[in-house]
Amino acid sequence: MSSDIEALVLIDTRIDAADRAGLRGRWEFGRAMLAARDGAGRLPNGFLAELVVRTGKSRAELGHRARFAARYPTEQELAHAVSEFGSWREVVAALAIAPDAGADPGPIPAGRFATIVADPPWTFTNTATRAAAQRHYPTMTLEEIAGLDVAQHAADKAHAYLWVPSALLPDGLQVLAAWGFEYRAVITWVKPQLGLGNYFRSTTELALFGVRGGMRTRDRSLPTHFTAPRGRHSAKPAEFQELVMRASPGPYLELFARCSGLADCTCSRCRLGWAVWGNEALSA
């Protein structure tokens, strides 16, 4: 571990303005961080904390460097990034919203899960909304989402929570049925801030709740809504995961999750030990 740290500190000293906004140096630094991960995709204990002390950079900055290297894994892709971005600030902004587009998510984790949560990359028919979603990640058609073999990964008695944009509610009901769940209720995320909208300004998001094998909720006193502020684009808040865990038993599987595998990651795998799958959950 210490030789890895020394190598990273050396790279850090070479990052300066002469290197087109410091992009190459940060990319090399990020690559070295990724190479220091163990077989499960995690950095050794204390590694990041020591790097913060030795370089004087924040955890967030070091995390951005690793994500930058993961997003642009080859020299050719780095060259593309250098031509595309004018500053490190722009890269950081793009990393916060853009996906590892086109990455193969691999198979859904093996096992039969008692609770499955999914936040699919729906395709919108509304052009403006579609453009907005597709700037952030590749989208899937209704047929592709419904065609995922989710039923095979659900326990005989199971719950599903399926996030669906209100404009696509009928599609959500179709997907829930295709995955082998009977629709039972809508969970509403209430957001204190006004959002966008074609008819009404959006302040809510909806998750369809479905049941397989007639399984009841663990706690019958739970409300059908929770309140939490908006996070980064399309991120679902911790309050949702907490509600799910109060209502439904494990093991838990989150489909279309985002996991960086880094120490500052707050995804359901890193925070709660859920199984995760998605093309931005590649370290899982």
Ligand X SMILES: C[S@@+](CC[C@H](N)C(=O)[O-])C[C@H]1O[C@@H](n2cnc3c(N)ncnc32)[C@H](O)[C@@H]1O
* 8, 66, 138, 201, 262 from 96: Cα distances, Å: 23, 13, 15, 24, 14
Distance CA 237, CA 231 (A): 7
CB of 24 to ligand X, least distance (A): 26
Size of the site for ligand X (CB under 6 A): 15
Note whether 137 binds ligand X by CB under 6 A. yes
Contact call for residue 97 and ligand X (CB under 6 A)? no
Q: Tell me if 165 contacts ligand X by CB under 6 A.
A: no
- Binding to ligand X (CB under 6 A) within 7-66 occurs at none
* Identity at 262, one-letter amino acid code: L
| 44 or 195: CB nearest ligand X | 195
Cis peptide before 251 (omega within 30 of 0): yes
Give 202 or 234: the residue with its C-beta nearer to ligand X: 234
Q: Is 236 in the site for ligand X (CB under 6 A)?
A: yes
The residue among 63 and 99 lying less far from ligand X, judged by its C-beta, is: 99
Q: What is the largest CA-CA distance in the chain?
A: 64
Q: Does 279 bind ligand X (CB under 6 A)?
A: yes
From 107-115, 181-189, 222-230, 275-283, give the range in contact with ligand X by CB under 6 A: 275-283
Q: Which stretch binds ligand X (CB under 6 A): 77-85, 178-186, 205-213, 231-239?
A: 231-239
Assess 121 for contact with ligand X (CB under 6 A). Answer: yes
Closest to ligand X by CB, 25 or 261: 261
Q: Please spell the DSSP secondary structure of 123-192, one letter per residue.
A: PPSSHHHHHHHHHHS--B-HHHHHTS--GGGEEEEEEEEEEE-GGGHHHHHHHHHHTT-EEEEEEEEE-S
Among 63, 99, 109, 261, binds ligand X (CB under 6 A): 99
